[in-house]
Every structure is written in C-alpha cells, then in structure tokens.
Structure 1
Amino acid sequence: MKVSVVKCNSYNEKEVYKAVKKSIDLIGGIKIKKGSKVLLKPNVLSARKPEAGITTHPSVAAAVCRILKPMNVKVMVGDSSGMGKYGYTSNALEISGMKKVAERFNAELISFEGLSKKVEIKGAKVLKKVNIAKPVLNADYIINLPKLKTHTLMKYTGAVKNMFGSIPGAGKSKCHTIAPKEEHFGHLLLDLYSIVKPQLNIIDGVVGIEGNGPGAAGIKKKTNIIAASKDAVALDLVAAKIIGYNPMEIKTNKLAIERGIFKGKVEVVGKKNVEVKYKQPADIRYVPAFVGKFVFSQAMLRPFVIKDKCRACGICIKACPAKTIKLVKGKAHIFDKKCLKCYCCHELCPYNAIELKRPPLRILIDFARVILQKLQ
C-alpha cells in the first residue's frame, strides 16, 4: 500500500494545494463518479482557531475542495467535535475555518450532532452497536483529513482515530466508559473503522502537536509535511514513525495487523526517511505487566484542576463520560473515585487548566524502573 510524503513548509494556499495534489498523484490519483456524495472529514476537536494547531487547517480542506471541483461531485464538510453539547460542533466548524471553506466552494457544512443511525458491527471486539452519523453512512466517498498529533491516551492520533468523530455528540463519551483503557479503546476504534473506512486519507502535518496532545495542553510542532494514503492504517504506520515512534507502539497499528484489518506492505513514495521527533505525551500507561489490576489502577496518572487557570467554563463537566466533575466554589473539581482516567477533560480544556499528576505509587514504580534500566 502506497503512502506519499510531501514537503509543505507553510499554510500558504498555493503551497498547500501543490502538496496535497502531489500527495494524491503519488498514490495513483483519485477517480470519483460524477454526482457522488463526497464527505470531507477534518479533525475539528474543539472550537479553536487554525493557528492553534489543534484542528485540521482550512487550507488543507480548501485544497481538496479545489481538486474535487472539476469532478462535479456533491461535497460535504462535516464532523462531531469532542464535546457532546448541541451547538458546540457548529461553533467549532466556524471558528476552525471550515465554515468559510464550505461557503467558498459551495459545499454543505454538516454538524453530525443529532444525525445518527444505530448500526450493528459484525465481528466487533468491543463496539458491538453504535450510533454513527448519517452523513458518514450515506457518503459515496469519504476523504479523511486528520491532524498529526500526539495523544495522552493513545500516544498518537491520526487517520484511524480521526474517524472517531463519526460518532455524534455524547456517544463518544459512552465509548470511553466501555473502553477506558488503551488496548480496549484501540479495539473500539478499529471496530468503528471497519464500517466507516475512508477511501482517501490526507494528514495535515505542516504543523502538528507534540507533548500532551491532542488539545490545548500540547505544544505546536513544525513538521512541514502532507502525507496521504488510500489506507488509514498504512498512513498511521508511516506518520507514527516520522514523529519518532516505533509504529507498533501505537495500539491501533498493532491491533489492526493482529486482527487482519491491515495485511499489506507499506511503500513510501515521495520524501523518504523523513523524521521530526516529537516530544511524547506523559508516560501514562507504563506499569510493569506483573502487577495486578488494583496496583495498576492506583499507579495511573490522575487529572487535577489547576484552580488559578480554571475559568469555570464547564467544558470538562460536559465532556466527562463518568460525570465525575462538578463545580465547587466556582472551580471545577474532579472526584477521583469515579474517574475513568480517559483524560477527556485534559484533552478538551481550552485553558490548559487540567494537569496529569503521578500518585505516590507511580513515583515509586517510575523510580524502580529507572534503577532497573541503569542496572541492565
């Protein structure tokens, strides 16, 4: 399976268009039947401006719209943001610049909120039934436009993870309650991917997010690439390597190969051996395999509210799948006993007011790990 990697040094529209077009041409181009319904699925995690680096840059969506224009297809631009509240996605689509792109190219702008159909997933490991956005199910052709970012739960978020936005509103929170751990959530994402596979995937890696991504707690990282593939897993295997991961460290990559969802070989075309090492997120999941479940739960990083930064906006309260965050004396407070450690609050807080702290047992385990590494 071909994966193209093309240099793109800025978000100048002409430069982005050339890079996107070249990335598509290198993997064999695209042919879409006249009159087809084509859905562009960007990453619109939250209501952030393009320069924040958190959402897919509108110049990438504009480049795709420009390429599609002579094909005489019906173009839709849609997503469901990380928040389940009605109206939030519409706001996010506007602030991220996607609304302007849709208006400019006469595309239909769609918030997936309230537009869902229950679907049964045959052969699923975790996600047996799920409400999926009707525009995703009804599209003849899906062009997935993820953003290159690290992720506190999954280590990396790219093409496969971006399709999680196919689940409207609060349905995403429910997914975190049934699969709060990294491996289970990886299976869940692949269950979903098995029925919403995009025909084309183009990742915005001009500016990515490193560190404690994918939201405001992450740090912008100039990476200067556009990469594309007709297979989301193939693209993720290459993109993860570019930012310094062993691709098999990423659960969706590893599990996709183990489950036979991805069987082919990856062929990189265009720029080869590109590497821009990203600062990885806090080592959230590392606990030795021999410890029990109780010890594991006690050693996981815990989200805490930085009171001075909290503005009582309520986003973390609405985002929490366990409903364990309340306003106490005008500030958000996380009641730890019910916390799933899914880190949705940390991911979506626009003010970077939630930090991840190591409990005492975790400090001890990390200290022991360092000592053992030195002795080896």
Structure 2
Amino acid sequence: MLTHRHDTIIGDIPKDWQPKPLKSLLEKQFSGDWGADEGEQAVSVLRSTNFTDSGALDFSDVATRYFSPEKAATFGLKKGDLLVERSGGGPEQPVGRIGFITEDLPDGTVSNFVQVLRPNPEKVDPDFLGWVLYELQRTGIIERVQQQSTQMRNLNWRDYQRLLLPWPDIDEQRRIAAALKLADDAIAKAKAELEATRELKRSLMQTLFVFGMPGRHSDFLATKIGPVPKDWNIKKLGEIIVSCQYGLSESMAESGRFPILRMNNIDNGIVNANDVKYIDLDDATFELFRLRAGDILFNRTNSMEYVGRVGVVNDDMDAVFASYLVRLVADTSQIDPWFLNFCMNSTQVRNRYRRYATPAVQQANINPRSVSFA
C-alpha cells in the first residue's frame, strides 16, 4: 500500500488545509474506447499524442474512429473535465500527463489509454485539481504510482485514486487556479511572440543570403541555391572550413567527468548545454574534443525531419560532442563562423545539403564529405 511521508503526496500543507484522496473529489470517472477502423458513426477520439507537457491539448491531429450509434450516444466531454494519460510515457518521460477540457465536446471521447476525471464542482475547482495533478507528473512524483511494462509505463490506478492531495477551501482553490492561469496565459503569449520573431528571422534569412541587404545590389548571378549578388564570392563549404571532426562514440551516463552534447542540444541554430549526458575521458581526449566559441555542430544522423540540424557554439564550453554530430571549424580569415552558421540554417542552403541525405533503418544519414564538397 502506498504511504505518504508528508501530509499529502506533494508535501506538507497549511494547518487550515486538509488532505483529500483524489477519488473523493470526483463526481465521475471513466476510461475511453478506441473503437474500430470502420463502422456506422465517426467519432473524434483524443489519445496520448494529443497531450502536451503544458496541460493544453493539441487538437491538430485528432483521430477519427467508428462506433455504433448506441455507443456514440454515450460519449461527450464537458468543460472542466480532466484527461489523464493512463498508459504511455517513455524512457525519460513519466506517464500521467494532464489535459484540460476548456469547452464542451459533446461528440468527443478518449482512447482506452486515457482516463476522464469529472471533478465534483461542489468540492473542488476543476482547474485547481488539474494543476495539482499536473504537478505530480511535472515533478516526477507520479513515478511512485506507475508500473513499467515492455516499452510502456502504466499508472497503478488504484493507488493513483488514493493519493492524498492538498485541499484548501474552494475560494482559495479558485484564487490559486486563477493565478496559475495568468502565468499560463503569459507563457502562451511569450511563446507566440517568440514564434513570430523566429518566423521573421526565417524570412530574413531566405532573403538576405541570396539577395543581400535591400537596395545594395542590382546585378545577380545564378547559383545552385538561387541568385546571389554578382560581386559576392561563391565558394564550396570545404573551401572555407579548416577541419571536419566526428564526435565521440563512448557510452554516456547520467553522471561522469564531462558533459557530452547530443542532437537535442542544437536548438534554433544555437548549441546549448540543457539536459546533457556525461562521459568519462582522460584530459588529453577531452581537450581534443572540447567545444570552443565559433565551432559549428552538424547533425549527420537522425530522422529526415532533424538530420542536417546545425548550431553554433557561442562561448567556450567544458563539454564534448557525440558521434552523430560533426564539428566544423570555419576559416576565420575568410568567413565569420556565426555568419556561416546562419547561412547553413537558411532554407536555401539547408535544402541543398539535405539532398545528400540517404535513408537507413528508421533514420537518414548525411555524409559530411559530400556536404563539404557539394
């Protein structure tokens, strides 16, 4: 039986709050149904792929499944319902993500890997309860009530329902939920502004790297990536880099002497040190592979969506890089590394070198030699 070291599964709570088991705060709960590939009535079915890490549901790819009219008549999701990812997750992601239903979906339902919780509004604010359950998954506390099967994680639903949760009075619940919604709205606005800025940057890159600064050039020369100003120098990549070095293939771990960067450490053209693994190396090997400002990392092996991802190292890093990454060092007498990085991230150039990607089992590969002399 699951035990609590504190007042609730999350921790100790104020003296005027109470701990309440999840099950006691629900008006109703039910599991989903995946339906059939064909049938009489089409129904929209939410599944694990519609969950996000933020609690918002992604409706861009909702499955259509088929049921009898009698079965379909029993479906429907209400504003305030909470969806719980009961089975799923992954090697580094616990199961138990939460999805908020923000408006009535009278004809919708969920798959058999998802559980619907309908909070009792007389006992608990639905948004407050949703954020409490969200915190269980976000912090990894949820791992105490999950079981691992082959390639999948499953919630122990009996223990999950018995979890003691913080339960202030309803007015305080609403105030807490409102404060979290304000923060969530601010995050959503910032993300939208960031994406708009990135789109502007992509648009500028598509123009500046082939036409130059507006109004400065009138004569253009046709090249494989499109017209470029006639007075620009045109060179192959291999002519403006001084070295092309493959990364390390040693085993990685959660701890070790040095951080080792992977594909996920290249984001929007920049190399970062977020969520790193570690590797044990002698000092001489570390110095040979240590990343320095201006280095460009090229992702040579991945899915077709991510192969060829490129990022620049902004500052010297006490880190090395994995074998499926390649370090390109620019000849700074000819080209600025940051300019080269932006150029390689432009749509025209990236589409050009991605032509060299060859498919393999579940991934694609780009031979750096082909790119260097393309």
User: What range is the shorter-chain TM-score in?
Assistant: under 0.3
Higher helix share: 1
Q: Which has the higher contact order (CA 8 A, sep 6+)?
A: 1
Larger Rg: 2
**TM-score normalized with structure 1 length:** 0.24
**TM-score normalized with structure 2 length:** 0.24
